[in-house]
Structure formats: structure tokens, C-alpha cells
């Protein structure tokens, strides 16, 4: 997976709030949802346009595992509404003895919201707030790439892709059962509505995949039809006259990857941190795992250290290690928090970590990274010795990185 745009920079959304608490994008000069019906109307709009438009409630009621791809995560309202629709359609799934249907929700967003903006808006949705609170507890760090989160005990799997839409679509294979086209209007963000995007959707769509969008622009209709969708114009939500629903009838002649077949069982050699986390990932995919280690107990080797510092490793070329540790830090933090909430005793603390410069040359290189990447201060900040001394509570004489959401754990 090559880095989006070959760098580690990410520009978060610049949210502008109206006097009545409704959000708009300063970057695109557009609204995130219809303001006609107020904050509660946003929830009704997402449900009417996307959830009903792709006929997801019937899939959920049938117990089908469903994969959704959204273009434009924005406020997260479409995702939360879909999660709520899954709950409404399967009220007794937990006690039925049958496997609960799984929602795999992918969403591409080039300019993600900050967590504090999301919580401000979510407070206005009392029916969705418990779901919003669960999501906010696992909110990804503002770094590019893939951010997967397991919610509702794994029944809901959210994969946020912080990248431009063209790059992100090239990384996906599908198949997806439903598409939400929820970007800003075509006149404000044309890249989200290109013929190339429509062809990419057809490539990753399941047979008869459904699509919905609030836009009824002529070039959107013609582009979807040329890509292989059968398009229908239907009454729009609220003051909007029309919207589009579509169904994939034939895919464009692009090469599809072979289907992925998981093995029934896997043997993991080594019961340290790497081995156990690998086993956990396999078990999430319903794969039987056997773990072997020459030691009599878990974490007897290097993983038996009293504690380990967990922080990203930054580089000027945004190499694979940088990308992996940037994305992995947030995933690990979310996973450990979930395990702690489930009653597992894990000694860990993510109140911040400091990485000091090794020598003057290293300090110069790291300071250049900070200047070039313009990283969000909520993720990483290059600090002078006096700043670090205040943060650490001890006198430090070298500059270094401050990672506010990094920390330590006991393996």
C-alpha cells in the first residue's frame, strides 16, 4: 500500500458553525447536510437518501452480512444512521443463537473532522449519541491511510480511509453491496464525481449492488450509466426535488482480483506480543488458531519486559515504518481500550510520550520533518527543551517530539 500522495500530511476539515449550531465546510463552501430541517433533519435526510435508497433494512432483516462504501465520511452521520438501522432491523439477534449480521462500513474522507467537532455535533443527536460516544472513544488520529475500528463487539467494522478518493479507490477490491455518494456537491468538489470514480465503483461492486446519492446532476446520471449502473431519478428529501438511486447491472471490463479465501486454521509460532496480536486478528476472522512457544508461558521472551513505550516513528520520506506506526498507534490504543472495557486487566497508559533527539544532527532532521509535514498538534509536536521539561515534570536539555496520545503498556 503506497502512501497517499507520497507524504504523511493530512488537512483536517475546517468546520464553520452557524448561530444555530449547524456545520459547514470553509474549505469547500458547502453544507454537510440539509439545514432546512435543523440538526434532527440531518438524521432523517441520511436515512431517507442513503439507507432507504439502497434498501439496507431488508438486507439487515434477512441477516445478511453487508459491505457499504461511502464517499465522504464528513460528520459521520451516515455511518451512525446505518449502524442504528442495523440495530432496529435486528433487535433480537444477540439472543437468537444465530450469528448476528455484520456491517462492514468503508468510508473515504480526505479532510476528516476533529474529534471535538464531532462530539459537539453528536450532542444534538440524543438517539444516536450512545453510538457516537462509542465511535468517539476510538476516533482515529489525524494521519493519512486506513483506520479500522471494531464496534458493537465486532458486529460493526468501520474502516475509515483518510486520503483522496482516487488513491483510496485504487486500494479497494470489494465486493460492496451498497454505495453512498455523499461528497460535497459536484460544483464544489468535482473530483468526487468523476467518470473515473464511477468506473471504480462498478469495479468493486457486488452483482446488483445498489447506490444512492442526493445529487441528480445530469453528468452524475450519465457517468453512472456509462459505468454500468441502471439509474432512476426519485423524489428528493425535504426541499430537494430529486435524488438518484441506482443498481449495478454490468461491470466495466476492469480486472477483478481473485476472491479471498481464508484458511480454516492457522498455527502461530511465538506467544509474545506479535504472536498474540496476530492470533487475535485471525480469530476475528473466525479462523481456528493454535499457538506454539518453547517457553512454558505467554510473553516469556522480549515481550516479557516490564513495559514498552508505544509511539510512532517519523521519517522524511514517509516510509512503510512511519505509515505503519502512525496508523497502528491508534488501532492499538482503541483495541486495548476495548479489551479493558470488556474486563481484561491490561496495564497501559496513553497520556503522552516524549522522544528526545539523539544528537544535534538528529534534532535538525527531526525539526525539518516537523516543518515539512505540518502534523496536527493533537498527534505530534516538535518541542524545545523548556516545553518538554514542563510536560515531563523534569528538566530536559534536548529538543524532541511530544506525542500526546502515545504512551506505554505492559506486554
Residue 14 pLDDT grade (very low, low, confident, very high; cuts 50, 70, 90): very high
Q: Alpha-carbon distance 89 to 81, whole Å?
A: 12
With left for phi above 0 and alpha for psi between -120 and 50, is residue 111 left, alpha or beta?
beta
Domain ranges of the chain: 12-248, 262-304, 305-409
Q: Is the pLDDT of residue 258 over 70?
A: no
Instruction: Give the tens place of pLDDT for each residue, 327-349.
Output: 999 999 999 988 888 888 889 99
Q: Are 55 and 61 in contact (CB under 8 A)?
A: no
Which triple of cell numbers denotes residue 143? 494521519
Of 197, 178, 199, the closest CA to residue 186 belongs to 197
Burial (Cβ within 10 Å: 0-12, 13-18, ≥19) of residue 408: middle
pLDDT attached to residue 97 = 59
Q: Which residues contact 390 (CB under 8 A, 6 or more apart)?
A: none
Q: Is the pLDDT of residue 5 over 60?
A: no
Q: Which residues contact 409 (CB under 8 A, 6 or more apart)?
A: 307, 308, 310, 336, 346, 347, 348, 349
Q: Is the pLDDT of residue 255 over 60?
A: no
Looking at the DSSP bridge assignments, the partners of residue 53 are none
Q: Is the pLDDT of residue 37 over 70?
A: no
Residue 70 pLDDT grade (very low, low, confident, very high; cuts 50, 70, 90): very high
pLDDT attached to residue 372 = 87
Q: Alpha-carbon distance 101 to 87, whole Å?
A: 10
Task: Tell me what the mean pLDDT of segment 201-208 comes to.
Answer: 95
pLDDT attached to residue 9 = 82
pLDDT attached to residue 302 = 78
Instruction: Give the tens place of pLDDT for each residue, 307-324.
Output: 889 999 998 888 999 999
Task: Tell me what the mean pLDDT of segment 241-246 comes to.
Answer: 93
Q: Alpha-carbon distance 152 to 86, whole Å?
A: 11
Which triple of cell numbers denotes residue 288? 481456528
pTM of the model: 0.91
Q: Alpha-carbon distance 379 to 399, whole Å?
A: 17
Q: Are 354 and 173 in contact (CB under 8 A)?
A: no
Any alpha helices (H) in 268-311, and if so which ranges? 273-284
**DSSP letter, residue 159:** E
Cell 446520471 locates to: 221
Instruction: Give the tens place of pLDDT for each residue, 343-372.
Output: 888 899 999 999 999 999 999 999 999 988
| Helix (H), strand (E) at residue 176 | strand 176-181
Q: Alpha-carbon distance 42 to 57, whole Å?
A: 19
CA atoms within 13 Å, Cβ hemisphere of 347 = 7
What average pLDDT does the chain have? 90
Q: How far is CA 19 from the centre of its chain?
A: 30
**Torsion angle of alpha carbons 362, 365, 368, 372, nearest 10°?**
-120
Q: How far is CA 48 from the centre of its chain?
A: 23
Q: Is the pLDDT of residue 297 over 90?
A: no
pLDDT attached to residue 401 = 97
Q: Alpha-carbon distance 2 to 267, whole Å?
A: 29
Domain formed by 12-248, architecture:
3-Layer(aba) Sandwich (3.40)
Of 185, 211, 206, the closest CA to residue 50 belongs to 211
pLDDT attached to residue 300 = 81
Query: Which of the residue ranges 37-41, 147-151, 225-229, 292-296 would you say has the lowest mean pLDDT?
Result: 37-41
pLDDT attached to residue 403 = 97
Q: Is the pLDDT of residue 119 over 60?
A: yes
pLDDT attached to residue 84 = 96
Which triple of cell numbers denotes residue 174? 470489494
Amino acid at each position: 500500500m503506497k502512501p497517499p500522495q507520497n507524504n504523511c500530511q493530512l488537512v483536517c476539515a475546517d468546520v464553520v458553525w452557524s448561530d444555530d449550531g449547524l456545520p459547514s465546510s470553509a474549505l469547500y463552501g458547502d453544507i454537510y447536510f440539509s439545514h432546512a430541517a435543523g440538526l434532527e433533519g440531518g438524521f432523517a435526510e441520511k436515512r431517507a437518501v442513503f439507507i432507504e435508497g439502497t434498501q439496507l433494512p431488508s438486507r439487515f432483516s434477512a441477516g445478511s452480512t453487508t459491505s457499504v462504501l461511502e464517499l465522504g465520511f464528513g460528520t459521520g452521520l451516515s455511518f451512525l444512521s446505518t449502524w442504528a438501522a442495523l440495530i432496529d432491523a435486528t433487535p433480537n439477534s444477540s439472543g437468537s443463537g444465530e450469528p448476528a449480521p455484520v456491517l462492514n462500513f468503508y468510508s473515504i474522507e480526505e479532510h476528516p473532522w476533529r474529534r471535538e467537532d464531532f462530539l459537539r455535533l453528536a450532542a444534538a443527536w440524543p438517539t444516536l449519541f450512545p453510538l457516537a460516544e462509542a465511535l468517539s472513544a476510538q476516533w482515529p488520529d489525524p494521519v493519512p491511510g486506513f483506520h479500522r475500528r471494531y464496534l458493537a463487539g465486532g458486529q460493526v467494522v468501520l474502516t475509515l480511509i483518510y486520503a483522496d478518493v482516487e488513491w483510496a479507490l485504487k486500494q479497494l477490491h470489494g465486493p460492496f453491496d451498497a454505495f453512498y455518494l455523499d461528497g460535497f456537491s459536484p460544483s464544489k468538489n468535482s473530483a468526487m464525481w468523476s467518470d473515473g470514480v464511477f468506473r471504480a465503483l462498478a469495479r468493486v461492486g457486488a452483482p446488483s449492488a445498489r447506490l444512492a446519492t442526493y445529487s441528480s446532476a445530469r453528468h452524475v446520471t450519465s457517468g453512472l450509466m456509462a459505468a454500468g449502473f441502471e439509474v432512476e431519478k426519485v423524489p428528493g428529501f425535504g426541499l430537494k426535488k430529486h435524488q438518484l438511486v441506482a443498481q449495478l447491472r454490468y461491470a466495466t471490463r476492469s480486472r477483478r482480483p481473485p476472491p479471498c479465501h481464508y484458511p480454516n486454521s492457522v498455527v502461530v509460532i511465538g506467544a509474545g506480543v506479535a504472536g498474540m496480536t496476530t492470533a487475535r486478528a485471525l480469530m476475528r476472522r473466525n479462523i481456528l488458531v493454535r499457538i506454539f512457544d518453547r517457553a512454558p508461558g505467554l510473553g516469556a521472551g522480549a515481550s516479557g519486559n516490564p513495559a514498552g513505550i508505544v509511539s510512532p516513528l517519523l521519517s522524511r520520506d514517509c516510509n512503510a515504518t512511519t505509515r505503519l506506526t502512525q496508523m497502528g498507534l491508534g488501532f492499538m490504543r482503541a483495541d486495548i481500550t476495548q479489551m479493558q472495557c470488556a474486563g481484561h486487566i491490561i496495564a497501559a497508559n496513553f497520556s503522552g510520550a516524549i522522544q528526545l533527539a539523539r544528537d544535534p544532527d538528529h534534532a535538525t532532521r527531526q525539526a525539518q520533518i516537523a516543518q515539512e509535514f505540518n502534523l496536527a498538534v493533537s498527534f505530534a509536536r516538535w518541542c524545545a527543551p523548556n516545553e518538554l521539561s514542563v510536560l515531563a515534570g523534569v528538566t530536559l536539555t534536548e529538543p524532541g517530539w511530544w506525542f500526546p496520545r502515545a504512551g506505554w503498556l505492559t506486554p
